[in-house]
């Protein structure tokens, strides 16, 4: 699940990413923010989590990772909504379409909450339209 919660009145933007994968043990969690560590064979750097963590801190927020072996992983990054160094969200519909098209076997759930409105898209519900 990918969840974005925009709360301008609280000066808060939250990005949460959860999966039901194999999870990480304590040793892997300690290495997860090292930009020169990856679990992908043939790659020399990871960068995804370190860059997200750095972007959260630059935007006046923080990032936490919760995970355990066999329990999946949950990443929560927060940003000050009005912070001048907060990165823009970009074109989330296009991003989700690309993710869904590139990974048809994965059921992506995207939730975007802002000012009392909630929009939810699930790739499984879209069928071949994804």
Q: Can you give the pLDDT at residue 35?
A: 82
Calculate the CA 26 to chain-centre distance.
20
Q: Can you give the pLDDT at residue 43?
A: 66
CA–CA gap between residue 16 and residue 124 (Å, rounded): 20
Q: How do residues 94-123 score in pLDDT, each as one tens digit?
A: 999 999 999 999 999 999 999 899 999 999
Kindly report which listed range (19-23, 46-50, 82-86) carries the lowest average pLDDT score: 46-50
Task: With H, G, I as helix, E, B as strand and everything else as coil, classify residue 120.
Answer: strand
Are 29 and 97 in contact by the 8 Å Cβ rule? The answer is no
Q: How do residues 41-63 score in pLDDT, each as one tens digit?
A: 776 656 689 999 999 999 999 99
Query: Which residue's structure tokens are 């801190």?
Result: 57
Number of domains in the chain: 1
Domain span holding position 110 = 2-129
Torsion over CA: 19, 22, 25, 29 (sign) = negative
Rg of the chain on CA atoms, in Å? 16
Domain at 37, CATH number: 3.30.565.10
Are 107 and 95 in contact by the 8 Å Cβ rule? The answer is no
């Amino acid at each position: 699940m990918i969840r974005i919660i925009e709360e301008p009145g609280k000066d808060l933007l939250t990005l949460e990413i959860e999966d039901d994968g194999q999870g990480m043990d304590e040793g892997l969690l300690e290495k997860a923010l090292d930009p020169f560590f990856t679990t992908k064979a043939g790659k020399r750097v990871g960068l995804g989590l370190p860059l997200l963590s750095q972007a959260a801190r630059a935007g006046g927020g923080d990032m936490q990772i919760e995970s355990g072996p066999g329990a999946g992983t949950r990443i929560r990054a927060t940003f000050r909504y009005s912070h001048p160094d907060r990165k823009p969200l970009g074109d989330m519909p296009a991003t989700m379409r690309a993710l869904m098209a590139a990974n048809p076997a994965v059921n992506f759930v995207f939730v975007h909450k802002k000012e009392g409105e909630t929009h939810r898209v699930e790739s499984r519900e879209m069928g071949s339209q994804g």
